[in-house]
Amino acid sequence: MSDIAPVPTRTRGRPPGRPRCFDPGAALDAAVEAFLARGYHATSLTDLTTATGLHRGSLYAAFGDKHALFLAALRRHAERSLAALDATVTGAPSPLEGVARFVRDQAERAAGQLAGQPGGQPDGQRGGRGCLVANTTLELLPGDHEVAREIEEYQRRMAARVARALDEARAAGELTGPGPTAALARYLFVVVEGMWQLGRTTNDTGTLLGVADVALTTLTARTCTAPSDANPESGYTDPTT
């Protein structure tokens, strides 16, 4: 066998041997949208190649198989969600208001699943885009251990960021509710996940905001009691007013 390497065939439009260039972040963003629209099992490789603009071979070379791509998409979603949470908290006039804005924003987006609002399906079909983590939890857990680890890490990081904001709120005298901030942060995430599930059957934003506002009373109530009489509709008094 000859030791001389064969001369690569020249491909029209690009120099020989140069790999096709693409933006991995943009490809993952497109994959997130595809999985959001259809779910994991219903998203085909054809759907993914169409969404990302990559040929099947390029998709495999860059990310591995469909399951590996899904794990990467979950991590991408987690990074985007953490950045959005951080921007919401740091952009608010106070740490407690930042947490309140995050929870109420989640309520509005959850309601948008049926109403075609941000986070929802444009045509208003039932079971729209929703939240990738909430959708995946229902579809793949507890059977998929790799996905479970990704979601557990996502929840840990998000809850830690909220807990840090609650620590700052307590130091500033805003957080008067009892309990460790880590537990309060976890509680809020249980509420948020529940709102995403409730949003599958109702697009009543007021209903979901009411749930969010009652949950937020735990941050300002001095004891764990019924909702405040100050705002019987939702049980929540804006801490900034």
Kindly report the number of other CB atoms within 10 A of residue 87's CB atom: 12
Number of helical (H) and strand (E) elements in the chain, helices listed first: 9, 0
Domain regions of the chain by residue span: 75-219
pTM for the model stands at 0.75
Q: Any idea what DSSP says for residue 178?
A: -
* C-alpha–C-alpha distance, residues 21 and 136, integer Å: 30
pLDDT in tens, 94-143: 999 999 999 999 999 999 886 544 444 433 333 446 889 999 999 999 99
- In CATH terms, the superfamily for domain 75-219 is Tetracycline Repressor, domain 2 (1.10.357.10)
Residue 222, CA atoms < 13 Å, CB-side half-sphere: 1
The token pair that represents 68 in the structure block: 């590996």
% of residues, the chain, pLDDT over 70: 76
